Chain A
Amino acid sequence: MSIQKDQLIMKGISKTFPGVKALDEVSFEIISGEVHSLIGQNGAGKSTLMGILNGITKPDDGQILFNNKVVKIDDPKDAFNLNLSIVHQEFALCNNLTVAENIYLGDEPHNKSGFVNYKKMHLDAKILLESINVNLSTNKIVGNLNTSQWQIIEICKALAKKPKFIVMDEPTASLDEKQIDNLFEIINTLKNNGIGIIYISHKLKEIIHISDRITVLKDGKINDSFLKNEVNEEGLIKSMIGKNISIKNNNQNIINFQKPILKINNYSYSNTFKKIRMDLYEGEILGLSGLLGSGANELLRCIFGIIKQDNGQLSLNDKVVTINKPRDAIVNGIGYIPSDRKNEGLIQNNSIKDNSVLTIFNKLTKMGFFKFNAAAKTTNNYVKKLDIKASNIDSFVMNLSGGNQQKVVIAKWLVKNCKILLFDEPTRGIDIAAKTQIWKLISEFTNEGGSVIVVSNEIPELIINCNRIITMQKGLISNTFNHEDFNEQKISLNISSK
């Protein structure tokens, strides 16, 4: 049996959004059985290009060829008919449906009488999940799961359509190391089955590891294209950004480990974490790392009052405080940067200005009236300070690139003058340049006396920037590393379950 290779070519694609030329004469090609990666800084135009390939966005110019025949992809159905499927960067799941229902949404198996065959649906979903080594019950409600589980469901959704080509837009942004390895195995299997994969990621190590070809987008134009083994990480960074960037630690605080500013004692929450004891000191950046199910993210949400611990005590400067809701935490000088910026961090259809001052509405009020001028002034300050790239502060945040959106969320808490900031995966889906900027902002915050807890699975990042790293496993603290004992391998070992 000879395997016929299919080929999909995008040619001379241009797209302009009001105020930005997102794509300028971009050509891109994918062949069966290869992994072609697309990289570039936030806002380079990667998602826009893939949106065009999937009929979500209409190009101003250019054409798409399938086996050298021009095809029209005007809406996602056309893409589906060409056996193209996409794992979107942003999750699009129905929160109140089950895992299986989400995977087969719009493509449900039916029985003879025309009803949805739930039995088959759950069985298929189970087989699919098992085939990619994921242990997840198919009748769980999606809204109760966490971001990495959502990501896996999105991937399953795309696989369920049995595509010839599959686009993965930052599939690993919210996966942990083990799951990433797992995903790579899936990708290799797909490749061997003759499926072409377009892979988008900001994690250059992964890109180098998995790609057969790498194309670099910069400001909406193709900047470079490399074959496997032709390039290393540095080369990619240089092509993406135009210069080398040094990744260094900006946090030079010497921590006084005598008096904790925040202390939690005996924190437990259902089956998620148990009897957690943890201190945070003034000026400290404390890293908290753990796999899916370790309870690290939930612990952060609990400190901020989004979920209420079953028992345990929290004290600030040796004074016990009760935190029942986020407002209580905020009043006590705690801020929280959620990992889900789209839904929890930002009001998408509001301006950069409104989002940046969201936490200080009270302060910006005089006799009931909102001080528009003061709000604009504050926002402008922070836009400058954080180097937020936007046409103006009145544009909607939904049109910003991922990195700039994240900076707006951080700005929102910096204006508030908090004492403690809790970051949940602050560099997720963010390009290298923006990553270093965000870590610099975090360090500056601590240099001015603030304290920070960062939940992240980017262990190299944590090692560079943190004063201490706590690892969690299955709801328990597995180890605490002081700065002098940092060691990537040891830390990884303490995260993954034996």
Chain B
Amino acid sequence: MNFKLLNNTGNNINLLILFFILCCFAVFISPAFLDFDNIQNIIRTVMVLGIIAFGMTMVMILGEIDLSVGSIAAFSCAFGGLFVDSNSSFIVIILTLLAGTFCGFLNGIGVTIIKVPSLIMTLGTMAIIRNVGYIMTKGQAAYPTKLEVYMASAKGYVGIFPIPVIIFIVLSIICAIFIRFSTIGKSFYVVGSNPVASILSGISNNASKIIAFTVCGLCCSIAGLIQSARLGQIDPHMGIGWELTVIAIAVLGGASLYGGKGSIEGTIIATLIIGVINNLLNLLGMSNHSQEVVIAIIIVSMVLIHNFRKKQSS
């Protein structure tokens, strides 16, 4: 084969090393870290955000950002949840995914055709979509517990493998292949690295962006669905503040806020790292608030490291 890995997909060795150091540290702090239940718990918790981070990675490779991810997750599930009485998992799941995809598509249109900067556009949709969700559901949760397939997405097993983990792995493979081997994925890097040169070469920046935002929306709805099934309720309040962790994962995984950089592989490892950090803080008995502080510090320091490296290399 003749494909050299793009250097823009970053060097994931450092991340892996960081991951192992954190794990060792966690074991040292609390041997309970290695309990099978604990490990499962880590994966199940962080995976939801990891799935969204796949979409976020694509958006960020294009040099854009999506702040509305938590709102899209909540809204799309709430929309599907309006139909729980149909007692058909199929209908609810399809409507959930469609709603998420549609929201992502709207973001894409806003950023490209209407030309609103993504930071502002998705800040707007973050508020709009969430509140439409509240209005639509009157703030009430729906309960999907009777929908077998729906619930299985979080609770089921195939053999000994939990279905949500299988979903995570399959999605990560699809996204990685998409980004690395498809022409569209390739154009993400091109557009993100130099939007002017790409337009002058006849590449459609708008198409790339619409696709990335749409895929991101879809990822949000999948993640929201798993989360709802895990909690046994479809809550329109779900996902508040998710964007922070998701962006942290993508940035840690090598995506640059300036575009042109990032990889699914990096994002996968970063997902696990964030999972371990969260778990570690739990094991240390730290509150949710302090956890958010840590996550925020990670984002800022990653950007600092990025700038430092850029300075060094020039």
Contacts and interface: CB of A to CB of B under 8 A. Distances in A.
Interface of A: 56, 304, 306, 325-327, 330-331, 336, 338, 343-351, 354, 358-359, 361-362, 364-365, 368-370, 372-373, 376, 394, 396, 412
Given A368-B182, A369-B183, A336 B193 contact: no
Given A350-B189, A370-B186, A358 B196 contact: no
Given A350-B190, A351-B4, A359-B201, 8 more contacts: A326-B200, A344-B197, A349-B8, A349-B193, A350-B189, A350-B193, A369-B182, A369-B183
Nearest to B201: A358
A358 B181 contact: no
A348 B1 contact: no
B183 A358 contact: no
Contact of B183 (A306, A344, A347, A370): A370
A306 B200 contact: yes
Interface string B168-191: 000000000000011111110110
Given A327-B202, A412-B201, A361 B194 contact: no
A142 to B, nearest CB: 16
A343 B6 CA distance: 20
Interface residues on B, range: 20 to 34
B198 A347 contact: yes
8 contacts: A326-B199, A347-B190, A347-B197, A348-B194, A350-B190, A358-B190, A368-B183, A372-B2
Interface in B268-312: none
B203 interface: yes
A65 B182 CA distance: 54
Contacts of A331: 202
Residue with the greatest number of chain B CB neighbours at <10 A, chosen from A56, A325, A331, A350: A350
A368 B182 CA distance: 5
Interface in B206-265: 260
Contact of B200 (A56, A338, A368): A338
A351 B181 CA distance: 16
B181 A370 contact: yes
A394 B4 contact: yes
Nearest to A365: B183
B28 interface: no
Given A343-B194, A350-B8, A372-B3, A364 B200 contact: no
A345 B201 CA distance: 8
A368 to B, nearest CB: 5
Interface in B1-19: 1-4, 6-8
Contacts of B193: 347-350
Contacts of A349: 7-8, 193, 260
B7 A361 contact: no
B200 A361 contact: no
A373 B4 CA distance: 11
Given A349-B193, A349-B260, A358 B203 contact: yes
A344 B196 contact: yes
Contacts of A351: 4, 6
Contacts of A412: 201
A362 B196 contact: no
B181 A343 contact: no
Nearest to B195: A347
A372 B185 CA distance: 13
B197 A346 contact: yes
B262 to A, nearest CB: 13
A365 B202 CA distance: 15
Given A349-B8, A349-B260, A376-B2, A364 B197 contact: no
A97 to B, nearest CB: 19
B306 to A, nearest CB: 14
Given A364-B183, A365-B183, A345 B203 contact: no
A390 to B, nearest CB: 14
B197 A343 contact: yes
B40 interface: no
B308 to A, nearest CB: 15
B183 A345 contact: no
B200 A336 contact: yes
Given A344-B197, A349-B8, A350-B8, A327 B183 contact: no
A345 B199 contact: no
A338 B4 CA distance: 29
A361 B8 contact: no
Contacts of B199: 325-327
Given A361-B187, A373-B2, A347 B194 contact: yes
Contacts of A369: 181-183
A372 B180 CA distance: 11
Contacts of A396: 7
A20 B8 CA distance: 22
B38 interface: no
A96 B199 CA distance: 21
Contacts of B183: 361-362, 364-365, 368-370
Contact of A359 (B1, B184, B196, B202): B202
B41 interface: no
Nearest to B180: A370
B87 interface: no
Residue with the greatest number of chain B CB neighbours at <10 A, chosen from A306, A368, A373: A368
A361 B186 contact: yes
Residue with the greatest number of chain A CB neighbours at <10 A, chosen from B1, B194, B196: B194
Contacts of B181: 369-370, 372
B86 interface: no
Nearest to B187: A361
B204 interface: yes
